[in-house]
Amino acid sequence: MDLNELLVFAKVVQAGSFTLAARELRMPKSTVSRRVSELEERIGAQLLQRTTRKLRLTDAGKTYYEYCARIVAEAEEAELAVTRLQSAPHGLLRVTTPLTFSFLGPLVAEFMKRHPDVQLELLCTDRRVDLMKEGFDLAVRAGPLADSSLTARKLGILESIIVAAPSYLKARGAPKSPRDLEKHDCILFGTQLERNTWTLYSGGKSVEVQVQARMAINEPDMLSALTQAGSGISLLPALHYAADIAAGRLQHLLPDWSSSGTPVHAVYPSTRHHSPKVKAFVDFLRERWPALPTGAGR
């Protein structure tokens, strides 16, 4: 079966003439006439009675047209549906982010309000998710990217800053230089106390500080709670502490100094490159990243 013949036949009937049908289909009138003749020959029945003034459907043509019209209408609806999907974000979006990226919550909420036809599944994990194998649309990842076939777009930079609770500073005083940190109780982000070197940067300068640590915590919310409780000074991504600093629960120390910036990327399979929902989400994060708390990302 040649579906093009069905389309041409339906257009001829709807237009009422070969000339008008040819104009709509943007093909020569002779081609339109030949297609209809080939269709009649293939099915073994005359579908149209041709006169100099107009066309008339035969009984066989009326029956055949009823089916053709439905097929053409369904095909046009299918094309329209695909066009809509390609022009506006729609459907299920599956995303994975690191556990420590809770600061993205307000941005995700804003994205969902902006795109009501999108549904979201968000997996927060520090496990490296295989996007293709596990059926995810994209991942937000921090740090150097491994060589892969994934497409990557940079979202921004994460910096870690030095913070402490007002209660700790009241009891121990505030460090006035990076070297002063060696005299303070510090809390490490991680799982090993022996990894106690903080490398800090200010402009073109850098310094390595051997901090005194009694605790190493690999969960940011617990580390934040211990820091707010006055247990010591911490170094963690600024975005995680932004709300606590704004509320006065923590104080930003040595503001001219921070860790080296960690790049953050959105990565996704090349097959998702033209997906409106993926493109909209990535473009939104790139647009809103500069609006995150001042001094927390750049």
Least confident of 81-85, 118-122, 158-162, 275-279: 81-85
The mean predicted confidence, pLDDT, of the chain is 86
Task: State how far the Cα of 258 lies from the Cα of 238, in Å rounded to an integer.
Answer: 9
pLDDT at 298 over 60: no
Q: What is the pLDDT of residues 243-297, one digit of tens each?
A: 889 899 999 999 999 988 889 999 998 766 678 899 999 999 999 886 555 444 3
Q: pTM of the full predicted structure?
A: 0.61
What domains, with CATH codes, occur in the chain? 3-87 (1.10.10.10), 91-156+262-291 (3.40.190.10), 160-253 (3.40.190.10)
Burial grade of 116 (CB within 10 A; 0-12, 13-18, 19 or more): exposed
pLDDT at res. 91: 87
**Mean pLDDT along residues 118-133:** 90
pLDDT at res. 297: 38
CB-based contact 131:150 (threshold 8 Å)? yes
pLDDT at res. 185: 94
Residues whose CB falls within 8 Å of the CB of residue 226, separated by 6 or more in sequence, listed in order: 187, 215, 217, 232, 234
Q: In terms of residues, how long is the chain?
A: 298
**Mean pLDDT along residues 121-136:** 89
pLDDT at res. 238: 84
